[in-house]
Amino acid sequence: MKSLQRDSQLWDKLKNKIVNIDLAEIDFKNAGSWPRPGRFLTLITIFTLTLILGYQLYIKPLEHQYQQTKALEKQLIQAYEIKALQGANLIAYRQQMSEIQQLIKTLSSQLPDDNAIPELIEQIGELAQNNRVEIQSLKLQPIKDNKIYLAQPIDLEISGSFHNLSLFVASITGLQRIVTLHDFSLKPDTKLLNLRIQAMTYHNKKTVQTGNNGSDFGDKNHSADKKD
C-alpha cells in the first residue's frame, strides 16, 4: 500500500515538472544536462514521431501495394481457371468447329450461281403447272448486297384456288436451292384468288447476277388448268 502511494506521489511530481517546463528556457544544445523527466519526454516524443512518419512513408505504401498485388492474384487465378476449362474442352470445341464448317459448306452448295437463275425460273413454272395455278407475272428485282452473300428478289403474281396456291407455296420452299418467301398479299379475283409474293434466292458472294435485274417474265406461258 505504501509502495503504491509512493509511486503515485512520484508520478504527480513528474507531471508537475512537465507542466511547469518553459520551452523558451530549454537549451537544446545542452540536452545532456536536462532533467531526467525532460529527457524522458523528449525521447517518447521523438519515438512517437518516428513511428508515425515510418508508417506514413514506408508501411502505408507497402500495404497499398500488397492490396493491389492481392487483387491481381485473384484476377490471374480466375483467368487460369477459364483457360484450364477451355483447354479441357478443346477437343469438343474442335469437333463443333468442324461441324459448323461442314454446315457452312453444305449451305454454300445450295446457293445458286449465275446460270442457276433461269433454271430456278423454269422450276417455278413447272411447280405452277404441277399445282394447277397460273403465273400472271414473274419479275426479277435488283440484287441486294448483304456483304456475306447476294440476294436476288423475285416478285411473283399467281392466281388459283386457295388449296392449289397453298400447295404451290409449299413446293417453292421445298426446292433444293435456298428460297425464302416474303411480303405476300392475297386478294379475291373472280372465282379464284390472286397471290402476290416475293421469293428470295441467294448467290455466293463471288458470283454476280447480270442481265436479269428488272427483267419482266410476266406472261401466261406457265398457265395451267385452274380447276381443283
CA torsion angle 86 92 95 101 (round to 10):
-50
User: Are 120 and 198 within one domain?
Assistant: yes
* CA 209/CA 143 separation, integer angstroms: 8
Q: Answer yes or no: do 118 and 75 share one domain.
A: no
Same domain, yes or no, for 38 and 69? yes
Residues of the chain with pLDDT under 50: 207-213, 219-228
Residues 34 and 83 in one domain: yes
Please give the Cα distance from 180 to 176 (Å, whole number).
Answer: 12
pLDDT digits (tens, 9 = 90+) for 70-121: 888 888 898 888 888 877 788 888 888 899 988 877 777 666 555 578 888 8
| Number of domains the chain contains | 2
Residue 170: give its domain's CATH number.
3.30.70.60
Residues 54 and 120 in one domain: no
DSSP secondary structure string for all residues of 75-120:
HHHHHHHHHHHHHHTHHHHHHHHHHHHHHHHHHHHTS--TTHHHHH
Please tell me whether residues 7 and 80 are part of one structural domain. yes
Judge whether 16 lies within some domain.
Answer: yes
In a domain, 48, yes or no: yes
Q: Are 206 and 110 in contact (CB under 8 A)?
A: no
Indicate if 140 and 175 belong to the same structural domain.
Answer: yes
Residues 200 and 123 both lie in one domain: yes
Answer whether 171's CB lies under 8 Å from 226's CB.
Answer: no
pLDDT of residue 15: 62
Asked if 165 and 172 touch (Cβ cutoff 8 Å), the reply is: no
Task: Give me the domain span that covers residue 124.
Answer: 111-204
Question: pLDDT at position 208, please?
Answer: 47
Q: Are residues 81 and 2 in the same domain?
A: yes
All three cell numbers of 16: 508537475
In a domain, 185, yes or no: yes
Residue 1 lies in a domain: yes
Burial 24-43 (b: 16+ CB within 10 A, else e): eeeeeeeeeebeeeeeebee
**Which pTM does this prediction carry?**
0.48
Neighbours of 183 (CB within 10 A): 10
98, part of any domain: no
The answer as to whether 45 is a domain residue is: yes
Is the domain of 132 the same as that of 84?
A: no
In a domain, 139, yes or no: yes
Considering the domain architecture, whether residues 11 and 84 belong to the same structural domain is answered as yes
Q: Identify whether 189 is part of a domain.
A: yes
Is 62 in the same domain as 127? no
Torsion of CA 69, 70, 72, 76, to 10 degrees: 130
Dmax (CA) for the chain in angstroms is 133
